[in-house]
Amino acid sequence: MWPRRPRTTAVCVWLLATACDAAPTPRGEPRSYPLIHMETTGLTTALHVDGKSVTIAWDPASNEQALAELDALQPETFLGLTRGRALHVVGSLSPEIHQTPSGPGRPTSEPYHSFTLHDWYVVPPFRRLVPASDDPLDGMVPGPLVEQLSLEDFRALPDGRALDPRAHERATRDEQQPAAAG
């Protein structure tokens, strides 16, 4: 009789269900998805797709400028945006499921989809993370509402190019809501 490992089996079933139960876009049909950041030892980027979290890795065909500008976001801005689902990426989610490599000194292998980034945007208002107190061990908490991105929200781009923070903003959440029928 085989030894039973219910926890391992449950985790594997959950990972496969999460990875396979999303509705990826066929190649060539860019779509907007809220970006999620995960604190893990493996892949840390996911998309919110049809009510589920879908782990992704950036496809090499992604827009290099958009990826560099996304990567230039200051950590306190990036983490605040992803916690509040205010950061959206536009691109194509591959239907194929890939597996990260495994081996000694590597995190546990995990399923992911490839995502081709075309662009990204922020839907204000949003909250940056701020220190909880003067003690760095207290961590970070959401700060006051911010109405727009500023240059202070970005680190310098590797190629020294100037960046326009307003280029990555879209209508506010209130402006996106349809008017009430009356």
In this predicted model, what pLDDT tens digit does every residue of 38-76 receive, in sequence order? 988 889 999 999 999 999 999 999 999 999 999 999 999
Residue 5 has pLDDT above 50, yes or no: no
Residues in the chain: 182
Give pLDDT, residue 138. Answer: 86
Rounded Cα–Cα distance for residues 176 and 178 (Å)? 6
132 in any annotated domain: yes
* Residue-wise pLDDT tens digits, 79-96: 999 988 899 999 999 999
Model confidence pLDDT, tens digit, residues 153-167: 999 998 888 999 889
* pTM metric for this prediction: 0.77
* Number of domains present in the structure of the chain: 1
7 domain residue, yes or no: no
What lies within 8 Å, CB to CB, of 43 at 6+ separation is: 55, 56, 57, 100, 110, 112
Q: What is the DSSP letter of 147?
A: S
What's the pLDDT at 139? 87
Residue 75 domain flag: yes
> Are 73 and 150 a contacting pair, CB within 8 Å?
no
Element (H, E) at 13: helix 6-20
- Assigned domain for 129 exists: yes
Q: pLDDT value at position 173?
A: 58
Query: Whole domain around residue 132: which residue ranges?
Result: 17-167
Instruction: Indicate if the pLDDT at residue 123 is higher than 60.
Output: yes
Contact 64, 127 (CB under 8 A): no
Q: Is residue 40 part of a domain?
A: yes
